[in-house]
Amino acid sequence: MMTVIEIRDLKAREILDSRGNPTVEVDVRTASGFGRASVPSGASTGSKEAVEKRDGDKKRYNGKGVLKAVEAVNTVIKNALTGENALDQRGIDMLLLELDGTENKAKLGANAIIGTSMAVCKAAADSVQKPLFTYIAEDVAGMHLTHELPVPMMNVINGGQHAGNELSIQEFLILPMGFERFRDSLRAGVETYHALKRVLGERHGKIATNVGDEGGYAPPMRETRQPLDAITDAIAEAGYAEHEIRLGMDAAASSFFDAGTGKYQIDGVLKEGTELLDVYKELVASYPIALLEDPFEEESFALFAKLTAQLPGTIIVGDDLFVTNVKRLAQGVQQHAANAVLLKLNQIGTISETLDTIRLANQNGYKKVVSHRSGETEDSMIADFSVAINAEIIKTGAPARSERTSKYNQLLRIEEAMGEAARSKGPSLRH
What are the residue ranges spanned by the domains of the chain?
Answer: 7-129, 148-430
Alpha-carbon torsion, ordered 102, 20, 170, 341, to 10 deg: -40
pLDDT, one tens digit per residue, over 199-235 is 999 999 999 998 888 999 999 999 999 999 999 999 9
Alpha-carbon torsion, ordered 171, 177, 178, 180, to 10 deg: 140
- The average pLDDT across 383-405 equals 97
Does 392 participate in catalysis according to the annotation? no
Least trusted range by pLDDT, from 157-166, 309-318, 330-339: 157-166
Distances in whole angstroms, Cα of residue 199 to Cα of each of 76, 202, 209, 383, 397: 53, 5, 9, 30, 19
> Residue 250 pLDDT more than 70?
yes
Catalytic residue among 344, 367, 395, 407: 344
Indicate the average pLDDT of the chain.
96
pLDDT, one tens digit per residue, over 79-101 is 999 999 999 999 999 999 999 99
Of 173, 264, 156, nearest to 219 by C-alpha is 156
- The average pLDDT across 278-303 equals 98
> Residue 364 pLDDT more than 60?
yes
Catalytic residue among 214, 298, 392, 415: 214
Does 214 participate in catalysis according to the annotation? yes
pLDDT grade for 152, boundaries at 50, 70 and 90? very high
3-state SS, residue 193: helix
Distances in whole angstroms, Cα of residue 4 to Cα of each of 88, 134, 141: 8, 19, 18
CA distance 385 to 94: 20
Q: What is the pLDDT of residue 48?
A: 78
> Residue 162 pLDDT more than 80?
no
CA distance 125 to 120: 9
Does the domain made of 148-430 have the CATH classification 1.10.3720.10? Answer: no
CA distance 254 to 320: 8
Regarding the domain delimited by 7-129, which CATH topology (the fold level of the hierarchy) does it fall under? Enolase-like; domain 1 (3.30.390)
- With pLDDT > 90 as the criterion, what percentage of the chain qualifies? 91
> Residue 431 pLDDT more than 60?
no
Rg (CA), the chain: 21
Counting Cβ atoms within 10 Å, is residue 420 exposed (0-12), middle (13-18) or buried (19+)? exposed
Least trusted range by pLDDT, from 42-51, 145-154, 236-245, 365-374: 42-51
